[in-house]
């Protein structure tokens, strides 16, 4: 089973829940693997101090201009929908950071002057510890998160086909979170009981409905705001998996990079509710 842990905005506790849940499941003997797919800012490794066992460089294919045969016809720039090629009077400029690797320019070029070549975008690192942990990390200056998210998931799926897979998704509702959610069995949306939390949750819910995904909600920092998120979930028939109480001690442990569930009973109870909910999905 594959479960994506997502949120409409950052800072709602996605990493806190996914990392603690992974440790807790592993302590119960579950074969679990966690992947940090927030490739632009992966931070699960702050909590998970595993031993690095493998590192792979991630590439995507980008066109590289070969001057010799180019007729400067400009067709490559015309066909690119992403402004990743500029045809100048005396040459062709390519912008790999804008390129979506669609191959159109390369295939259309009448003189084979734009062969596709591997272009480094980041790294996939695997750690061993209480459970397997895999992190995708985009190189500085790279903007294409989706290919690296896809490759990180492929790495995990190939290496751990029968494990329970938890995807710690990027925040938001754009392409990266869609990529991290579209093939999952279930998506957990973490939110807060505040007007901002509700606003971002409604956007995330719309996205999941377009993707036709099964999903449920975890309300984190329960008690800080109002009950509008609960009312919304009841009206929309969205299951609330658990409510994690607002607690300064949780925030303190988190900022120290410590595990929370061994020290805070109500947090552990919430993890039990999450696990029970997952059991019901099988
Ligand atoms: S399509 Fe090929 S030949 Fe034409 S300008 Fe582009 S690289 Fe040169
Ligand atoms: S591969 Fe596609 S996106 Fe990339 S430069 Fe060529 S046409 Fe543009």
H helices of the chain, in order, are 14-27, 75-79, 104-108, 145-159, 175-181, 195-210, 228-235, 248-255, 265-281
Residue-level pLDDT at 81: 96
Dist. CA 80 → ligand 1 center (Å): 12
* Cα–Cα distance for residue pair 123/114, rounded to 1 Å: 26
Instruction: Return the best residue to mutate from 103, 121, 144 for the ligand 2 pocket (most ligand atoms within 8 A of CB).
Output: 103
Residue having the nearest C-alpha atom to atom 2 of ligand 1: 109
The reported pLDDT for the residue numbered 134 is 97
Ligand 1 pocket, 93 CB below 6 A?
A: no
In testing the pocket of ligand 2, which one of 63, 77, 117 has its CB within 8 Å of the most ligand atoms?
63
Contact between residue 204 and residue 73 where contact means Cβ atoms under 8 Å apart = no
Q: Give per-residue pLDDT as tens, 221-239.
A: 998 889 999 999 999 999 9
Enumerate residues lining ligand 2, CB below 6 A.
63, 79-80, 82, 84-85, 99-105
User: How far does residue 95's CA lie from ligand 2's centre (Å)?
Assistant: 9
Mutate which of 113, 115, 116, 117 for ligand 1? The one with the most ligand atoms within 8 Å of its CB, which is 113
Q: What share of the chain is helix, strand, coil (3-state, %, to 5)?
A: 35, 25, 35
What is the set of domains in the chain, with CATH numbers?
Answer: 2-59+123-281 (3.40.50.300), 65-114 (3.30.70.20)
Q: What is the pLDDT of residue 172?
A: 84
Q: How far is CA 125 from CA 13, 32, 97, 210, in A?
A: 23, 17, 22, 32
Which ligand has the shortest distance to the CA of 147?
2
User: Distance between CA atoms of 7 and 168, rounded to whole angstroms?
Assistant: 10
Check if the beta carbon of residue 200 is closer than 8 Å to that of residue 207.
no
Ramachandran angles phi, psi of 190, nearest 5°: -95, 135
Measuring from atom 7 of ligand 2, which residue has the nearest CA?
80
Nearest-atom number in ligand 1 for the CA of 108 is 1
Q: What is the pLDDT of residue 38?
A: 94
Q: Tell me the average confidence (pLDDT) per consecutive run of 10 residues in the chain, 282 residues long.
A: 90 90 95 96 85 96 95 96 95 93 96 96 95 95 90 97 95 89 95 93 95 96 91 97 93 88 95 95 82
pTM: 0.89
Q: What does the pLDDT look like over 45-71, one tens digit per residue? A: 888 888 999 999 999 999 999 999 999
3-state secondary structure of 60: strand
Residue-level pLDDT at 144: 85
Question: Whose C-alpha lies nearest to ligand 2, atom 4?
Answer: 99
Per-residue pLDDT at 10: 77
Distance 110 CA to ligand 1 centre (A): 7
70 pairs with which residues across the strands? Answer: none
User: Atom of ligand 2 at shortest distance to CA of 102?
Assistant: 2
Confidence (pLDDT) at 239: 97
């Amino acid at each position: 089973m594959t479960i994506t842990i997502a949120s409409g905005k950052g800072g709602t506790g996605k990493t806190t829940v996914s990392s603690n849940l992974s440790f807790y499941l592993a302590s119960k003997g579950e074969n679990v693997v966690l992947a940090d797919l927030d490739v632009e800012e992966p931070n699960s490794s702050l909590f998970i101090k595993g031993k690095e066992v493998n590192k792979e460089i991630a590439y995507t294919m980008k066109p590289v201009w070969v001057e010799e045969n180019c007729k400067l016809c400009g067709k490559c720039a015309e066909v690119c929908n992403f402004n990743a090629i500029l045809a100048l009077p005396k040459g062709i400029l390519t912008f790999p950071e804008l390129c979506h690797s669609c191959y159109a320019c390369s295939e259309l070029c009448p003189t084979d002057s734009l062969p596709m070549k591997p272009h480094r975008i980041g790294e996939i690192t695997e750690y061993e510890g209480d459970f397997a942990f895999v992190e995708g990390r985009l190189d500085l200056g790279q903007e294409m998160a989706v290919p690296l998210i896809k490759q990180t998931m492929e790495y995990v799926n190939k290496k751990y086909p029968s494990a329970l897979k938890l995807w710690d998704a990027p925040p938001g509702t754009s392409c990266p979170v869609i990529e991290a959610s579209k093939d999952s069995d279930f998506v957990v949306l973490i939110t807060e009981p505040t007007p901002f939390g509700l606003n971002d949750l409604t956007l995330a819910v719309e996205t999941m409905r377009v993707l036709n995904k099964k999903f449920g909600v975890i309300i984190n920092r329960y008690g800080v705001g109002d009950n509008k998120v609960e009312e919304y979930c009841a009206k929309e028939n969205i299951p609330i998996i658990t409510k994690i109480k607002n607690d300064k001690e949780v925030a303190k442990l988190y900022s120290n990079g410590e595990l929370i569930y061994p020290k805070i009973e109500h947090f552990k109870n919430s993890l039990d509710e999450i696990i029970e909910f997952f059991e019901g999905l099988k």
